[in-house]
Amino acid sequence: MLDSKEFVKRRKQLMRMMGEGAMAILPAAPQRHRNRDSEYPYRQDSDFFYLTGFGEPEAVAVLVPHREQGEYVLFCRDRDPLMETWHGRRAGPAGARERYGADDAYPIGDIDDILPGLLENRERVYYSMGYSPEFDQRLMAWVNRVRARSRGGSHAPVEFVALEHVLHDMRLYKSPAEIKVMRQSASIAAAAHQRAMRMCRPDMMEYEVEAEFLHEFRRAGAWVSYNPIVAGGGNACILHYTENNAPLRDGDLLLIDAGAELHGYASDITRTFPINGRFSPAQRALYEVVLAAQQAAFDCVKPGSHWNVPHDAAVRTLTEGLVELGLLKGKVNELIASEAYRRFYMHRTGHWLGMDVHDVGDYKVGGQWRVLEPGMVLTVEPGLYIPAGSKGVAKKWWDIGIRIEDDVLVTKHGHEVLTKAAPKTVAEIESLMADGAVAGSAARARHA
List interacting residues with ligand GLY (CB under 6 A): 226, 257, 268, 351, 357, 381, 405
Q: Which amino acid is at 200?
A: C
Q: What minimum distance in Å lies between the beta carbon of 270 and ligand GLY?
A: 6
Nearer to ligand GLY, 210 or 268 (CB): 268
Are residues 287 and 279 in contact, defined by beta-carbon separation less than 8 angstroms? yes
430 binds, among ligand GLY, Mn ion, none (CB under 5 to 8 A by kind): none
Q: What minimum distance in Å lies between the beta carbon of 269 and ligand GLY?
A: 9
Q: What minimum distance in Å lies between the beta carbon of 403 and ligand GLY?
A: 8
Q: What minimum distance in Å lies between the beta carbon of 249 and ligand GLY?
A: 24
104 binds, among ligand GLY, Mn ion, none (CB under 5 to 8 A by kind): none
- Determine if 261 is a binding residue for Mn ion (CB under 5 A): no
**Residue whose beta carbon is closest to ligand GLY:** 257
**Rounded alpha-carbon distances, angstroms, from residue 217 to 21, 155, 185, 421:** 45, 51, 9, 15
Nearer to ligand GLY, 91 or 260 (CB): 260
Which residue from 268, 399, 406, 430 is in contact with Mn ion, where contact means CB under 5 A? 268
424 binds, among Mn ion, ligand GLY, none (CB under 5 to 8 A by kind): none
- Determine if 379 is a binding residue for Mn ion (CB under 5 A): yes
CA atoms within 13 A on the CB side of 437: 13
Letters for 401-420 (x = contact with Mn ion by CB under 5 A, - = none) are ----x---------------
C-alpha to C-alpha distance for 211 and 198, rounded to whole angstroms: 14
Helix or strand or coil: residue 28? coil
Degrees to nearest 5, angle at CA 446 with 444 and 448 = 70
Which residue from 56, 120, 216, 257 is in contact with Mn ion, where contact means CB under 5 A? 257
Give the count of beta carbons closer than 10 Å to the beta carbon of residue 21: 15
C-alpha to C-alpha distance for 185 and 407, rounded to whole angstroms: 10
Nearer to ligand GLY, 46 or 52 (CB): 46
Nearer to ligand GLY, 268 or 430 (CB): 268
The 3-state secondary structure of 387-417, one letter per residue:
CCCCCCCCHHHCCEEEECEEEEEECCCCEEE
Q: Which stretch binds Mn ion (CB under 5 A): 4-12, 21-29, 207-215, 375-383?
A: 375-383
Active site residues: 37, 240, 257, 268, 347, 351, 358, 381, 385, 403, 405
160 binds, among ligand GLY, Mn ion, none (CB under 5 to 8 A by kind): none
Are residues 129 and 159 in contact, defined by beta-carbon separation less than 8 angstroms? no
Nearer to Mn ion, 405 or 430 (CB): 405
| 278 φψ region: left (φ > 0), alpha (ψ -120 to 50), beta (else) | beta
Q: What minimum distance in Å lies between the beta carbon of 194 and Mn ion?
A: 17
Helix or strand or coil: residue 238? coil
Task: Give, as one character, the DSSP assignment of residue 267.
Answer: -
Question: Going by DSSP bridges, is the β-strand pair 364-365/72-76 parallel, antiparallel, or unpaired?
Answer: unpaired
Q: What minimum distance in Å lies between the beta carbon of 192 and ligand GLY?
A: 14
Q: E-strand spans in 130-225? A: 159-162, 223-224
φ, ψ at 300 (rounded to 5°): -100, 5
226 binds, among Mn ion, ligand GLY, none (CB under 5 to 8 A by kind): ligand GLY
Q: What minimum distance in Å lies between the beta carbon of 422 and ligand GLY?
A: 14
User: Exposure pattern of 268-307 as b/e (b: 16+ CB <10 Å)?
Assistant: bbbbbbbbbbebbebbebbbbbbbbbbebbbebbbbebbb
C-alpha to C-alpha distance for 275 and 260, rounded to whole angstroms: 23
Nearer to ligand GLY, 15 or 376 (CB): 376
Helix or strand or coil: residue 141? helix
Nearer to Mn ion, 377 or 386 (CB): 377
Nearer to ligand GLY, 56 or 405 (CB): 405
Q: What minimum distance in Å lies between the beta carbon of 257 and ligand GLY?
A: 5
Give residues in contact with Mn ion (CB under 5 A).
Answer: 257, 268, 379, 405
